[in-house]
Amino acid sequence: MKNSKKTIGNTSDEKQNDLDLNKSNAENQFLTTNQGVKINDNNNSLKAGERGPSLLEDFILREKITSFDHERIPERIVHARGSAAHGYFELYESMEQYTKAGFLTDTSIKTPVFLRFSTVAGSKGSTDLARDVRGFSVKFYTQEGNYDLVGNNMPVFFIQDAMKFPDLIHAVKPEPHNELPQAASAHDTFWDFISLMPESMHMIMWVMSDRAIPRSLRMMEGFGVHTFRFINKNNESHFVKFHWKPKLGTHAVVWDEAQKISGKNSDFHKQDLWEAIEAGNFPEWELGVQIIPESDEHKFDFDLLDPTKLVPEELVPVKIIGKMTLNKNPENFFAETEQVAFHPGHVVPGIDFTNDPLLQGRLFSYTDTQLSRLGSPNFHEIPINRTIAPMHNNQRDGHMRQEIATGRVSYHPNSLGGGCPFQAKIDEGGFASFNERIDAQKIRERSESFSDHFSQAILFYNSQTPTEQGHIAKALSFELGKVETEAIRTRMLGLIAQVDKNLAATVAKNLGMNVPAAPEKPINHGVGADEEGEKHEPKKVKQTIENSDALSMLKNPTLSNTIATRQVAFLCAEGVNAASVDSMKKALKGAGAKAVIIAPHLGTIVSEEGTEIKVDQSYLIAASVLFDAVFVPAGNGITELKKVKEVAEFIKDAYQHCKFIAAEGQGIDVLPIDADGGVLTSEKAGDNTLAGSFIEAMGNHRYWEREKTL
């Protein structure tokens, strides 16, 4: 099937060739200036005498320093920290009935993609494990032009109107007077803003859930967030919501673990993505769509244009239509990951916008930001941003223009250029916006249909398992615990109580406060309000459904329980039983997981049987939070580990974070913890049954039962 794919200008490899044209290869080459002049001395600047002043004439020095001075470009105002990879998208079945987009109708096309993940609030060098939304931006290099699906790992957003975006971001970013805290929402200005914006309560439930601390970028769902349109050949429109479902399942770490990972390896996600791809463990996501006929626009108890709402999968099932595979790391972080420019407005014929006021504002913002970030309207010429479709127009000049446009014609219509380039009719692939009928008054207001701020927050909270609900309570207690202004906490408790009274009571208890009897009257945002702002208070709507399993990571039955690519720490020492190590390693490898041998020192250790075992990491380097599970093998020497402080800490942390722990023989004596259903042991060294149970247990990700005893 794969071999029969068409190859005309649309494979991942060919996009790569496109990029290759711009690659420099310094092998067997002289060092030169940017003008190609060979450099004779790259160590000394030109001076007036050995000990004399440097000369302005030194064009080599000046060029080198100038280039260095300008090496940094402004980082993205949001989503500054990113990790990306190349890959391709394959379509399972034609969506012709709904859209005319070639890459969604022709199953023989393999469309190259570039995917950039990001955190939102932190700056470029901040930790991967911040509690935050993750950006999930996919650039499809289609034959009809670039299509960017610029989404997040959560299906809703904080605010309903782009007008509030700068306020939201100013509030979450480090506070302006002291630049504190970095990459964290746990501070006064963020919660001040949120406490006055009840429309954010649904999103708050998501960001306070474990979705905001993913185990891996490879284990996150992605969402297009807004409702978009599919347009078919007959110019018929269907509403569409996009979903990315990871083949490895959706998994998270726990908050204490996240904080520790930030110290042990703040590049944890970036490195994990890079290493998985280098090892050939190509991450995969299936693309799903929820399709809603135009005629059903007003069928729901929420507004499809409201980005603080999702369409429950129970109401409109997600249809899986294709798969994306990431198979190549960028070769140069700056050239590709940093310079890639996404834009929700990069659409192709067959995909169109809705009037979601958040999306409408985004359509302006992204080009504008590239102008200041990348410095010129010619950012489309940077290799990573180039379309693979032929590109001809009369746009000219500007900073850093690459194209050498030939001929005298740079306008349309023209006769001197034979009328070229000419407009494409719709049946020749020309983009024509959906001719939606608009008959309205110019107005600066929000539709009353946007005024339900709590129903879906309640739906989300009610759909979580008790474990997940507990994590939300802890996250809110942590975040609000860092808020110094009591009035902000009080306002938040008032809002949380409108989602769930018990949740509010738990958080209030942790804050040593009381839930206010009546929530403060929210400030008015023009939600269909009259002049006094009285008319439409945020209201609740009775939802058609009260529970949606798809919203829970732990309940979600559709996600796989594979342990592929999981990292298991083998706590070893001199005198470890090699058979115990080898058989567990083999079993884990069979399930796609990786054993990492940790010992008191690097190099090799000698096993009980006298064989040498290569050590991957020492206890000085390794930490439990960087692994998914722990195995302590058998062996006479293994009890020595009781004396190693780091080992006790390692196991205790794994236990605290509800990880599965297995031990064999003498390894059992090393465990400084109580046995429970997540601690699997066998007196026998090299016990295949233990290995089988360990693998099966790890498929559940964590032993959450343990939390009740901690």
- Interacting residue ranges for ligand HDD, rule: CB under 6 A: 76-79, 82, 116, 118, 135, 137, 150-152, 157, 162, 165, 225-226, 307, 340-342, 358, 361-362, 365-366, 369
Minimum CB distance to ligand HDD, residue 89 (Å): 17
Please confirm, yes or no, whether 79 is among the known catalytic residues.
yes
Q: Kindly tell me which of 133 and 685 has the beta carbon lying closer to ligand HDD.
A: 133
As a whole number of angstroms, the longest Cα–Cα distance in the chain is 90
Minimum CB distance to ligand HDD, residue 117 (Å): 8
Q: Kindly tell me which of 366 and 478 has the beta carbon lying closer to ligand HDD.
A: 366
Minimum CB distance to ligand HDD, residue 151 (Å): 5
Neighbours of 664 (CB within 10 A): 28
Minimum CB distance to ligand HDD, residue 78 (Å): 5
Minimum CB distance to ligand HDD, residue 461 (Å): 21
Measured between alpha carbons, how far is 425 from 447 in angstroms, rounded to an integer?
36
Please pick, among 10, 79, 187, 243, the residue that the annotation labels catalytic. 79
Q: Kindly tell me which of 326 and 578 has the beta carbon lying closer to ligand HDD.
A: 326
Please pick, among 146, 152, 153, 378, the residue that the annotation labels catalytic. 152
The DSSP call for residue 335 is I
> Looking at beta carbons, which residue is closest to ligand HDD?
135
Minimum CB distance to ligand HDD, residue 173 (Å): 12
Q: Kindly tell me which of 79 and 380 has the beta carbon lying closer to ligand HDD.
A: 79
10 Å CB burial of residue 188 (0-12, 13-18, 19+) is middle
Minimum CB distance to ligand HDD, residue 234 (Å): 29
Q: Residues 6 or more apart from 353 whose CB is under 8 A from it?
A: 226, 228, 229, 344, 345, 347, 359, 360, 363
Measured between alpha carbons, how far is 598 from 387 in angstroms, rounded to an integer?
47
The DSSP call for residue 405 is -
Judge contact between 198 and 454, C-beta under 8 A.
yes
Q: Kindly tell me which of 310 and 527 has the beta carbon lying closer to ligand HDD.
A: 310
Q: Kindly tell me which of 135 and 288 has the beta carbon lying closer to ligand HDD.
A: 135
Residue 365 tokens, joined: 């913002």
Judge contact between 139 and 113, C-beta under 8 A.
yes
Measured between alpha carbons, how far is 549 from 387 in angstroms, rounded to an integer?
39
- Measured CA to CA in angstroms, residue 337 lies from 85, 125, 151, 194, 329 at distances of 8, 14, 16, 31, 10
Measured between alpha carbons, how far is 52 from 49 in angstroms, rounded to an integer?
5
Measured between alpha carbons, how far is 636 from 638 in angstroms, rounded to an integer?
6
Q: Kindly tell me which of 369 and 414 has the beta carbon lying closer to ligand HDD.
A: 369
Report DSSP letters for 524-572, one per residue. P--BS--TTS-S---B----S-S--GGG-TTT-TTS----TT-EEEEE-
Minimum CB distance to ligand HDD, residue 427 (Å): 33
**3-state class (DSSP) for residue 110:** strand
Helix (H) or strand (E) holding 438: none
The DSSP call for residue 419 is T
Nearest to 427 by CA among 230, 142, 234, 147: 234
Report DSSP letters for 134-166, one per residue. EEEEEEEEETTEEEEEEEESSSS-S-SSGGGHH
Minimum CB distance to ligand HDD, residue 70 (Å): 20
Q: Kindly tell me which of 73 and 620 has the beta carbon lying closer to ligand HDD.
A: 73
Q: Kindly tell me which of 258 and 340 has the beta carbon lying closer to ligand HDD.
A: 340
Q: What are phi and psi of 598, to 5 degrees?
A: -115, 135
Helix (H) or strand (E) holding 18: helix 12-20
Minimum CB distance to ligand HDD, residue 321 (Å): 20
Please confirm, yes or no, whether 332 is among the known catalytic residues.
no
Q: Residues 6 or more apart from 54 whose CB is under 8 A from it?
A: 45, 46, 47, 61
Kindly give the pairing relationship between strand 82-91 and strand 594-599.
unpaired
Minimum CB distance to ligand HDD, residue 380 (Å): 13
Token pair 């000369």 in the structure block, residue = 55
Measured between alpha carbons, how far is 644 from 653 in angstroms, rounded to an integer?
15
Q: Kindly tell me which of 162 and 476 has the beta carbon lying closer to ligand HDD.
A: 162
Q: Kindly tell me which of 363 and 673 has the beta carbon lying closer to ligand HDD.
A: 363
Q: Residues 6 or more apart from 271 whose CB is under 8 A from it?
A: 265
Nearest to 248 by CA among 559, 478, 35: 559
Measured between alpha carbons, how far is 138 from 150 in angstroms, rounded to an integer?
6
**Which residues are known catalytic residues?**
79, 152
